[in-house]
Amino acid sequence: MGDIAFKFGRGPSRLSSRPKERAVFLDRDGVINEILFHQEMGVLETPFTADQFRLRKGVAGAIRQLNRLGLKIVVVSNQPGVAMRHFTRKTLDRITQKMKRELKRKGSYLDGVLYCLHHPTKGVGSLKKNCACRKPKPGLFYEAARWFNVDLKKSYLVGDSILDVQAGRRAGCTTFLLSHLKCDLCHLMAKRGIKPDYLVKGLAEVVKRIRRLERVSS
């Protein structure tokens, strides 16, 4: 998978003959964990260390309920901090392991995590590239669909940015936009002709809507 960082999962060769799965794709920063203000840089950004990683309130419970619906739960996240040398791949691994541990401790789990490590202009070495996996492009979704045998048109994306919604729509997913952080997004998205299927306040509302949608489609 080249420079896509991939965590766990069984692999496409073992899943190709099985019925298609449905999935909930989750952005990471701002959806699963808190976004941090890095004072030295003056920006809101992803955690740069495992110690900085904090689950958002209610996230583990919401993911646990999605687990019980029988949906694959897959993180799809741009993590250009590796390309920009804000942190190393080893640190990213530690952050991922902490995320898994904290969710497991609260009775929930992820089926997989896919990260795009590239940045088109600020990356270093091979990670400086205009790739097919960085959202708003849908490459991470296609890779996850192949790996987990997922039907993207029957799956869902939950994000908190324009890039998430664009990528989810391009992949054919039903899209949810969390409005808890970026309340100015709606105006900007309207100007660009971008519209999520659902605007929600948090993952608890996502769970309720997906339950209804799953009942309708069953």
Both tokens of residue 95?
Answer: 């952050």
**Active-site amino acid positions:** 27, 29
In sequence order, what DSSP letters do the residues of 79-122 get, joined into one string? Answer: -TTTTTTSS-HHHHHHHHHHHHHHHHHTT---SEEEEE--BTTT
Determine the Cα angle at 25 with ends 23 and 26, to 5°.
145
Amino acid at 39: Q
Strands 4-7 and 112-116: antiparallel
> Distance between CA 90 and CA 192 in Å, rounded?
37
Sign of the CA dihedral running 46, 52, 55, 56: negative
Using DSSP's 3-state secondary structure scheme, residue 183 falls into coil
Both tokens of residue 60?
Answer: 């583990």
